[in-house]
Structure 1
């Protein structure tokens, strides 16, 4: 009994400690149970030359992972492969477009914000630290490293697949402006069975304009696996002859009649486009060839079939296009985050007039184009521009100037080449005196010409970045600009492509995708006409 007070005292202290432990535990649980309030980011983007918010492309990540939260200001338009609803607000790489402002609630943490506005603007990356219950306001200004429109050159994505009605026009215009694409050509796509990505109007009726930007309609149709995919630009209406589907020239003739241009997509490489290019190109049906795109190879610039026609004396205008939403730099269409992107491959059209649908078409018809996935080019021969043609006397001095423009971080130039008849006549690299990753220049006087020549400039820069001009065509004393050295080889190659078509005509297939053999009579007639052209070229090009 003597120890009872001690026992009671120790027991009391133990109860106090136990009670304190549970009270602390309950308090901790109570704190953890309280929801963490999200923070807010309020972002505004302008350019260094303007005070109004500007459309931009935005990508938000955290520790390298995309943040799958879309602000209400995100501009969504339905898009997808085969005209399916595969995407809306997010782009294929999980970026999104906004009209210069957005607000987003995010859990507390550190985020990475990427802003871009096409290759003429310098991309920006910023770190955002979001704190619970707080609003963080940020204003960013995007700067150009070059302004091609100020020089009279207007960027064009000649290959976009998105259906549209007048209701979508303002939304799609925001997409174009966010990539600084001055002219977006939306193509109705077709195959033997069906058409996809409908456009509500063509020609001037299908033009939507805002500021100095245009939406216009065109077509990628016919499209077959045996002779390639055809392009139509600038016609006053769509053209499709279902009962003569493999007779591309009937479509091309009608497009020309309607004031348009015609040619081939995908470098004329995929879907055996070189066969159709030979069949129609040698009969003067082809105006344009898409020579830069991310659909075929990691190297977006492919010129094998382009130089084929040029060396045989056929002027063809170089074009380019993204083939959105099909083609990206990763070539992985099965990935939910592949890099298909409007304007990733584009061409520039020169016009001295204010930009309109008509002035753009005139520049395109004149061949005043440069294709690019990054570098910008200025090319002159005796002050002539790409697409120009002029005649000189033998040994007349040609004053040649070619300049490539780049950006040390975004478009680091590697080399520039002057190409004549497919050969490199002069080359300059970034390591030579007076040259840099920002600018490369070739100055050359050529006075040894005894025969006509086509001259072009091409440039290579950072990863998968290249550019190429349409040629300047120089004739001497009225001669052609063809290449006598390669004429025989290219004519034999042309004949081999015609034989490929003939071999396909003998393959009666049960596969509904392959319908060429049904058109044997009409195609044999066209092959015979092309052979007549080849025989005439053999005599003339000697």
Structure 2
């Protein structure tokens, strides 16, 4: 008798027995009683229960059963309900404890809490009818808040109402993100991931962690994607959608900052960055992210503006749930994680929304996917303007922190005008994979921007916003590269002019519709380029 022709009760029994032996299955065979996992996670420094990210596997497969304590919020690309309790890699978040009935067997438990905490891996043996109690302490290998530097993810896309605030804060706390920026996303037609309030009214804070609201809008394939942070209201000009400068101006009027997402690398963002950056409209640039490349740190377009003497603050974000470390490797289940790219802001006083925004506005930031990095130039922080007279000694100090196995440091560099001025490696005397330090004394001959960058293991990098050095009142531009960057700026403007010359039948390509307004802005930027050619000699 074939199974397909067997009675229903027989087919059901076969199915139940088969399910018991499926990888990651939670059933039990031969009448075995289930066991139980009771887990608690605490912060090693405080002794208090702490939110964590959990991944439970059996035979290499994720266990297909969530504890009732799993913190679930709807999320997905294009604001669809693609996920809920599970994260894209089949992990889940809990607020310090959970209980789960499991079939007897051997399991692997992975616990993590962002890059400043040491990841944990445990093997669990679940026995029939018995309780396995796991009490785990999550310990930091570095404590950046103690140094007054606080992590933020500027690019999280999740629809939010007041009801989800406490749940979403558990998610960001589980990744040790102190400031989670929830972005409403827009395009020419619609907006997505709606947010219920803006500015201080949109802030939800508990202890040293908070959520706030921002926008990724406008977004076009010809000019790139705009990111707006800290404004007291959203800004959207549907009938003037490609005129980004109107958005940037209004964001500033509303107390916010505006700039470009995705390192200005994708969606021709470098065109918009030149068009708006050269006219002084851009405040920030997402310098580190896993959307455009496996290499999360892409500096070409950043250095373009800096070498032309235009200050821009470095920020970073995950673009959850869109981008991740394996986004282009056919592994969508591992493609997104809150906080996998983040930036740190110096907040000397207590962490709250206004103090954090003040630090961000001042440019006191560095971006990181693992290494921790600090820079000082004559006791000035990243983002600061340092005015000196010619011949003054610039004392430059850079320090990086890592972890021998989790974030193994490789190199630390001091960069000036895009060139490496000093470099140390982990195998040099007095250095290690856990700490690198570098000091330089540089005579101030001309204006210069100075930054630090560090590299750890695969896909682990960090970069500071520069300190901007003015010598005898003159700017920090780079005379050696300014001509080529101005020529490149003209090339980008010509690309845009070509795009808007003819009507496009592609419904996504709408720049031609704003031809008159864009031509005016291109002409304004061309005048700026001519003026810079004279000024930056």
Short-chain TM bin: over 0.9
Aligned residue for 2:37, secondary structure, equals strand
Where does 1:296-445 land on structure 2 (aligned, <5 Å)?
Answer: 296-332=292-328, 335-445=331-441
Q: Are residue 450 (structure 1) and residue 433 (structure 2) matched? A: no
Distance 1:434 1:104 in 2: 48
CA RMSD of aligned residues (A): 1.1
Provide Cα deviations, 1:339-390, integer angstroms capped at 9, x if missing partner.
3100000000001111111111110110000000000011111110100111
What does residue 25 of structure 1 align with?
none
CA gap of 1:490–1:212, structure 2 versus 1, over 3 A, is same
Aligned with residue 527 of structure 1, among 510, 522, 525: 522
* Whole-angstrom distance in 1 between the partners of 2:333 and 2:229: 30
CA distance in 1, matches of 2:270, 2:328: 24
Q: Which moved more, 1:132-141 or 1:161-170?
A: 132-141
Whether the aligned pair in 1 keeps the contact of 2:375 and 2:452 (CA below 8 Å) is: yes
Unaligned stretches of 5+ in structure 1?
Answer: 1-31
Any conservation in 1 of the 2:366–2:465 contact (CA below 8 Å)?
A: yes
Q: TM-score, normalised by structure 2?
A: 0.94
What displacement does 1:64 show?
1.5
Shift, 1:431, TM fit: 0.9
Per the alignment, residue 131 of structure 1 pairs with 127
- The 1:184–1:333 alpha-carbon spacing in structure 2 relative to 1, beyond 3 Å, is farther
Q: What's the secondary structure of 1:54's corresponding residue?
A: coil
Q: Where does the alignment leave 5 or more consecutive residues of structure 2 unmatched? A: 1-27
Kindly indicate whether the alpha-carbon contact (under 8 Å) linking 2:322 and 2:335 is maintained by their aligned counterparts in 1: no
Shift of 1:506: 1.4
- SS of aligned partner of 1:169: helix
CA distance, structure 2, for counterparts of residue 439 and residue 33 of structure 1:
52
Please give the residue correspondences for 1:23-102 in structure 2 after superposition, counting only pairs within 5 Å: 34-102=30-98
TM-score (structure 1 length as normaliser):
0.93
Distance 1:219 1:240 in 2: 10
Conservation of the 8 A alpha-carbon contact between 2:326 and 2:332: no
> 1:7 maps to what in 2?
none
Taking the TM superposition and a 5 Å limit, the aligned residue runs for 1:437-516 are: 437-447=433-443, 449-516=444-511
Which whole-Å CA distance do the structure 1 matches of 2:502 and 2:51 have between them? 52
CA distance in 1, matches of 2:362, 2:530: 29
Give the aligned partner of residue 286 of structure 1.
282
* Gap change, CA 1:393 and 1:379, over 3 Å in 2: same
Corresponding position of 1:106: 102
Q: What is the CA–CA distance in structure 2 between the aligned matches of 1:297 and 1:345, rounded to whole Å?
A: 13
Task: Name the SS of the counterpart of 1:349 in structure 2.
Answer: strand
Q: Match of 2:20?
A: none
3-state DSSP of counterpart to 2:476: coil
TM-fit CA distance, 1:241: 0.3
Q: d(CA) in 2 for partners of 1:40 and 1:489?
A: 66
Q: Cα deviation per residue 1:493-541 (whole Å; 9 max; x = unaligned)?
A: 0000000000000131111111000000000000000011001101111
- For residues 167-316 of structure 1, the aligned pairs below 5 Å read 167-316=163-312
Per-residue deviation, residues 100-150 of structure 1 (Å, max 9, x unmatched): 101111111000000000000000011100011111111010100111111
Asked whether the equivalents of residues 153 and 350 of structure 1 are also in contact (C-alpha less than 8 Å), the reply is: yes
Task: After TM superposition, give the deviation of residue 333 of structure 1 in Å.
Answer: 8.6
The answer to whether the Cα contact below 8 Å between 2:369 and 2:460 also exists between their aligned partners in 1 is yes
Quote the Cα distance in structure 2 between the aligned partners of 1:195 and 1:248.
Answer: 16
Whichever of the two has the greater Rg, that structure is: 1
Change (3 A) 1:33 1:127: closer
Distance 1:260 1:360 in 2: 12
Report how far residue 336 of structure 1 moved: 4.9
Distance 1:40 1:416, change over 3 A: same
Distance 1:511 1:503, change over 3 A: same
Q: Secondary structure at the match of 1:484?
A: coil
Q: Secondary structure at the match of 1:168?
A: helix
In 1, distance between residues paired with 2:490 and 2:510? 22
Runs of 4+ in 1 over 3 A off after TM superposition: 332-336
Task: Check conservation: 1:326, 1:333, Cα contact below 8 A.
Answer: no
CA distance, structure 1, for counterparts of residue 498 and residue 416 of structure 2: 35
Indicate the SS of the match to 1:298: coil
Q: Distance in 1 between matches of 2:133 and 2:29?
A: 29
Q: Distance in 2 between matches of 1:137 and 1:539?
A: 72
Per the alignment, residue 8 of structure 2 pairs with: none
State the number of aligned residues. Answer: 510
Query: Secondary structure at 1:337's aligned position in 2?
Result: helix
Distance 1:76 1:50 in 2: 26
> Aligned equivalents of 1:241 and 1:378: distance in 2?
39
Contact in 2 for aligned 1:161/1:187 (Cα 8 Å):
yes
Give per-residue Cα distances to partners, 1:213-235, cap 9 Å, x unaligned: 11000000000000000010000
Deviation at 1:337, TM superposition (A): 1.2
**1:44–1:53: 8 Å Cα contact kept in structure 2?**
yes
